[in-house]
Amino acid sequence: MQSSKNAFTLIELLVVIVIISILVAIGIGNYISAADDSKYAAAEADMTSLKKAMLEYKVFHGELPLIGSEVDTVAGSGTWASVIDALIASGDLGERIDADPWGRSYYYQDHDCGASVAGQSLIITAGKDGVIGNADDFSLVVTDACLFAP
């Protein structure tokens, strides 16, 4: 039985399989994490373009798109479309950016200039989970306060 000296034992094979499995699991985890990071980076680039378009719109129109009762929450799905349509109509947004890297709409939270405390204007993506208002959301500030007297 000379062959038993040169062959792997079952235990050795199992150890090798376990080690390979661990390495594969680590690799997949890193790949998924890198894919998520790249989607957030793409979202940030989109949102930066949208912010620039909104601020250019403000230069020519005196205010951000559709400030007021039409755009005052992050809840309305039609709200974002109306903001985007206004930017395209004004020529301030050359290429339509209406979906985040996960295929969902960006949100636009307008400051409420009629409120006693005006807040920030934000562009928001709901992030990987698609649910707005939790920890994996990502937002970009367009303006810090109300741009005109209420």
Q: Residue 78 class from Cβ within 10 Å (0-12 exposed, 13-18 middle, 19+ buried)?
A: exposed
Nearer to Ca ion by C-beta: 70 or 137?
Answer: 137
* Site membership for Ca ion, residue 126 (CB under 5 A): yes
Residue nearest to Ca ion (CB): 127
# binding residues, Ca ion (CB under 5 A) = 7
Q: Which stretch binds Ca ion (CB under 5 A): 57-65, 78-86, 106-114, 119-127?
A: 119-127
Measured CA to CA, the distance from residue 150 to residue 53 in angstroms comes to 23
Asked if 44 and 83 touch (Cβ cutoff 8 Å), the reply is no
Rg of the chain (C-alpha set): 25
In the list 131, 141, 144, 148, the residue contacting Ca ion (rule: CB under 5 A) is 131
Q: Which residues bind Ca ion (CB under 5 A)?
A: 126-127, 129, 131, 134, 136-137
